[in-house]
Amino acid sequence: MSERRNFIKKSAIGALGAFLLPKSTQAIMNTNNNTHSAKEFPMVISTWRHGLAANDAAMNSLLNGDKAIDSVEIGVRVPEADPESNSVGYGGWPDRDGHVTLDACIMDETGNCGSVSFLQNIKHPISVARKVMDETPHVMLSGKGALQFALEKGFEEENLLTKKGEKRWRKWLETSEYKPIINVENHDTIGLLALDKKGDISGACTTSGLAWKLHGRVGDSPVIGAGMFVDNEIGGCCATGVGEAVLKTLGSFLIVELMRQGATPQEACEEGIARIVKNQNYKDMQIGYLAINKKGEHGSYAVHPGFNYALHQNGENKLIDSNSFIKK
Give the footprint of ligand SD4 on this chain (CB under 6 A): 87, 187-189, 207, 209-210, 219-221, 240-243
CB of 244 to ligand SD4, least distance (A): 7
Based on CB atoms, which residue is closest to ligand SD4, 211 or 258?
211
CB of 189 to ligand SD4, least distance (A): 3
Among the listed residues 44, 314, 309, the one whose alpha carbon sits nearest the alpha carbon of residue 196: 44
Alpha-carbon span 298 to 108, nearest angstrom = 18
Based on CB atoms, which residue is closest to ligand SD4, 77 or 187?
187
Based on CB atoms, which residue is closest to ligand SD4, 13 or 78?
78
CB of 9 to ligand SD4, least distance (A): 27
Alpha-carbon span 83 to 93, nearest angstrom = 10
* C-alpha distances in Å from residue 301, one per residue of 203, 245, 266, 304: 18, 14, 7, 9
- Say if residues 11 and 271 touch (Cβ distance below 8 Å): yes
CB of 185 to ligand SD4, least distance (A): 8
> What backbone phi and psi angles, to 5 degrees, belong to 199?
90, 15
Catalytically active residues, by annotation: 189
Based on CB atoms, which residue is closest to ligand SD4, 68 or 88?
88
State which H helix or E strand residue 60 sits in. Answer: helix 51-63
Positive/negative CA dihedral, 21, 28, 105, 270: negative
Apex CA 105: angle with CA 33 and CA 57, to 5°? 75
SS3 221: coil
